[in-house]
Amino acid sequence: MTAATAHLVLIGMMGSGKTVVGRACAERLGRPFLDTDELVEAAAGLPVPEIFAAEGEDGFRRREAQAVADACSAREASVIGCGGGAVLDPRTRSRIRQAGFVVWIAAPPATLAARVGSGAGRPLLAGAPPSAELERLLELREPAYRDAAHAVVDSEGRSVDAVATAVLDAYAAHAEQP
């Protein structure tokens, strides 16, 4: 893998902005954007909540690990947005780090909660109030995000464009390293 062919991989919690920021980065780089939730849905022929209902979280995670592997093996250098829980699998963490430059888009729980609203379409937020569940999940997952990421970009109080600029600056700095 050379810097020029490496994927740009975005990780982070639900509501961190991976999809909108990823699309903005892909547009500026003139690269495809691959969203692992969309890949899972296309392979299963079902939306994410129905996969959780039919196969449980374990079934979804197996499909997600495969989707990340498929995205990472794309021949064309791409921007890849990973579902929030993809990094829980240690093999996935090492796979994305090998496939490219990994950026954790971070935000505090209150901001994540404001962005996801009622949590519709996100099965993990269907039980408890989204803000409490996001806080719990973030605490649990923080070590995995830290372990997987080459860089962290804070999205708190910043526009999508500003976050995309920060991500691309970090990516460019990495690509310039000898």
* Binding positions for ligand S3P, rule: CB under 6 A: 14, 18, 37, 48, 83-85, 122-124
Q: How far is the CB of 175 from ligand S3P (least distance, A)?
A: 26
CA–CA distances in Å: residue 110 to residues 30, 103, 127: 33, 21, 17
Nearer to ligand S3P, 41 or 154 (CB): 41
Nearer to ligand S3P, 60 or 101 (CB): 60
Q: How far is the CB of 123 from ligand S3P (least distance, A)?
A: 6
DSSP code, position 102: E
Nearer to ligand S3P, 14 or 65 (CB): 14
Nearer to ligand S3P, 138 or 170 (CB): 138
The residues, any chain, with a CB within 8 Å of residue 87's CB and separated by 6 or more, are: 11, 93, 96, 141, 144, 145, 147, 148
Which two three-digit tokens encode residue 13?
């919690």
Residue in the structure block whose two tokens are 């639900």: 14
